[in-house]
Homo-oligomer: A and B are copies of this chain.
Amino acid sequence: MKKFSFLDDYSEGCHPSILEALVETNMSQQTAYGQDEYSDHARALIQKQLGDASSEIFFVSGGTLANLIIIASLLRSHEAVISVRTGHIASRETGAIEAVGHKIITVDTADGKLTPDDIETVLAENAHAPHMAKPRLVYISNATETGRIYLKSELETLSETCRKHDLLFLLDGARLGAALTSAVNDVSLADIARLTDVFWIGGTKVGALIGEAIVINRPELAVDFAFHIKQRGALLAKGRLLGIQFEELFGKNLFFTASRHANDLAEKLSKTIVDAGYALASETQTNQIFPIFPNTLIEKLEDDFRFYVWEPHDTEHSVLRLVTSWATPESQVDRFIVSL
């Protein structure tokens, strides 16, 4: 029997209802480059979630593309980004932001979450104009790289701090589905549209084949944005591929139900692990679980499952990362539980 993978939330293809939509629409002739009917409809569906916001919406195939296009479009070359050191753009995108010309000023944090104080400190330490790059955009991820989420009050104070200092506020939503369906979440898409200047909604991790939806909440920031999508190679000839998927994600609430499925299984797994007497390296808020297991147990688990050994804990224990997804069958979670 093949090992079941808890490695990540992108090991399978796409959610069956997305696949069905691809099949059904396949031979319809559509205008290229994102001007198709499905993309138009998908934009309208997302728009509905944003409340009053007069946002503009663009689809691209992946998260690094989203981040580099947004930042390259918004900033002048002397302007820098503020991010936690573990931020995806700072640690997992091969210098993509620097490759389009911008410095990232990083902040060390305990839990991967940025605070208003962090921003104030960066501003104070980078004020020696014109000898230092000028901080101009604040980048956060929700959920963070390690599965933590921002509460509404936290986003509000970050947003206020940004506005006070004329900083743009960008939220990377590669894991936004997981965040918004977390048991501890109190934030809506409309809140995020109100509090950020730009954010993006990850499709890949909630069941799309590819696809992220960039939402620009201030019309003046969207001017000529399409040029940047094309210039960085992200304008798909068959833009329908992105439109159809987001139509499916937001037409029938799939974005939320698929995310919640992953979170629910993570919660079940997490609780059972704790009940079995194991500690967690980090509280489970979304679909990532970081249990501390004896190395002997890990070896045994590796016979049946795939997962990351995140880091050593002590000589006899290690921290694992287990990821559940829209595609994880509850039976595999149960099978894992039995192995403990």
Contacts and interface: CB of A to CB of B under 8 A. Distances in A.
A41 interface: no
Nearest to A74: B76
A10 to B, nearest CB: 4
* Chain A: interface size category: 35 or more
B95 A102 contact: yes
Given A210-B61, A231-B77, A22 B11 contact: no
Contacts of A93: 131, 230-231, 233
Interface stretch (A65-73, A112-120, A175-183, A185-193): A65-73
B99 A232 contact: yes
Interface stretch (A236-244, A264-272, A274-282): A236-244
Interface in A176-228: 204-205, 209-210, 224, 226-228
Contacts of A51: none
B12 A27 contact: yes
A94 B132 contact: yes
A64 interface: yes
A327 B236 CA distance: 18
A4 interface: yes
Contacts of A99: 77-78, 100-102, 231-232
Interface string A1-27: 010110110111110100100110111
Given A64-B235, A226-B129, A29 B14 contact: no
Contact of A77 (B64, B100, B130): B100
A79 to B, nearest CB: 8
Interface centre among A11, A233, A237 (most CB of B within 10 A): A233
Number of copies: 4
A80 B90 CA distance: 12
Interface string A237-263: 110110000000000000000000000
A119 to B, nearest CB: 18
A330 interface: no
A26 B12 contact: yes
B32 A13 contact: no
A300 interface: no
Contact of A236 (B62, B96, B230): B62
Interface of A: 2, 4-5, 7-8, 10-14, 16, 19, 22-23, 25-32, 61-62, 64-69, 72-73, 76-78, 80, 91-96, 98-104, 106, 128-134, 204-205, 209-210, 224, 226-238, 240-241, 327
21 contacts: A8-B237, A11-B30, A12-B30, A13-B240, A16-B26, A19-B23, A22-B209, A23-B23, A61-B233, A62-B234, A62-B237, A64-B230, A80-B95, A92-B132, A94-B230, A130-B235, A134-B227, A210-B210, A210-B237, A232-B233, A233-B234
